[in-house]
Amino acid sequence: MSIVRDEAIVLRRLDYSESSQVLALFTRDHGQQRMIAKGIKRGTKTRAATGIDLLELGVVMFSSRPGKEDVLAALTEWRQEENFPHLRRDLPRCYAAQYAAEATSHLTEVHDPHPALFDALKSLLALLDAGDPLAILDAYLWTLLTEIGLRPELGRCMNCTRSIADDTVIYLSARQGGAICRDCEPAVIEKRRTRGDVLRWLTSQTDVVRRDDAPPREVKEAFELLDYYITETVGKPLRLADPLRSLTGLPRRPQPRRH
């Protein structure tokens, strides 16, 4: 049994018995960790004085058994560092943050560290205090796909390999792993149509930073495209997708085109 100390963000919280919870934490150096926090809801223990909330940033100490990674770790201490109060004052920002947490939870593996992605998630939660939440979310999701090695190839057609840098209409296919040109599109079953400007906006997102000049149309379409890609990759829509869409004025998620 070893005690591990790390920086962590709370991705999920599930009640377990009357006063305990099972937490899914995204830690900086130990990847996603599932652990039980016994008696945490009582909030009387100094080791986690006020309980642990969703999307909180803190320093966690937990015990884990080497070689038994499938067993829940046990939380021994939590010190809250930041709870991002702006997320509690605005629903679209709150849901954008929860969408990021859900995507991270689905797309990263337990015990698979991604320090750069952790830093990006931390930046996202802090930056959501102003600006267009979808623009910041786009940048984070792009970073997420890059970090886990699932970033779609958008510079050339995945079928004929020709450059699509100047194309105005392009298709994205999750199964093909990237863009499909208009000429090859009829042969691909799973795909979503988009504009070249959207892909160019997306590929310009090299870091999770706030951009006050983000083009609103491209931002929304890029989110729809990323949501489509993540849905196809995960195999089901994220639970936050529709609530976030309705709050940001986007139509309900279209069904993927299949023949």
Using CB under 8 A, list all residues that contact another protein: 12, 14, 17-18, 46, 49-51, 53-56, 79-83, 85, 87-91, 94-95, 98, 101-102, 239-240, 243
Residue 183 CB, nearest approach to another protein (Å) = 40
Q: Nearest to residue 120, comparing CAs of 85, 89, 82, 147? A: 147
From residue 148, give the alpha-carbon distance in Å to each of 116, 130, 143: 11, 27, 9
* Residue entry with tokens 């689905």: 106
Residue 220 CB, nearest approach to another protein (Å) = 19
Q: Which is nearer to another protein, 5 or 151 (CB)?
A: 5
Contacts of 163 (CB under 8 A, 6+ apart): 155, 156
Q: Which is nearer to another protein, 17 or 163 (CB)?
A: 17
Residue 63 CB, nearest approach to another protein (Å) = 22
Rounded Cα distance between 137 and 247, Å, is 14
Residue 109 CB, nearest approach to another protein (Å) = 19
Q: Which is nearer to another protein, 47 or 257 (CB)?
A: 47
Residue 44 CB, nearest approach to another protein (Å) = 10
Residue 175 CB, nearest approach to another protein (Å) = 27
Q: Where are the alpha helices (DSSP H) in 91-166?
A: 91-107, 115-127, 133-147
For residue 228, the surrounding DSSP H or E stretch is helix 216-234
Q: Which is nearer to another protein, 162 or 236 (CB)?
A: 236
Q: Which is nearer to another protein, 89 or 259 (CB)?
A: 89
Q: Which is nearer to another protein, 20 or 146 (CB)?
A: 20
Contact 178, 202 (CB under 8 A): no
CA atoms within 13 A on the CB side of 17: 8
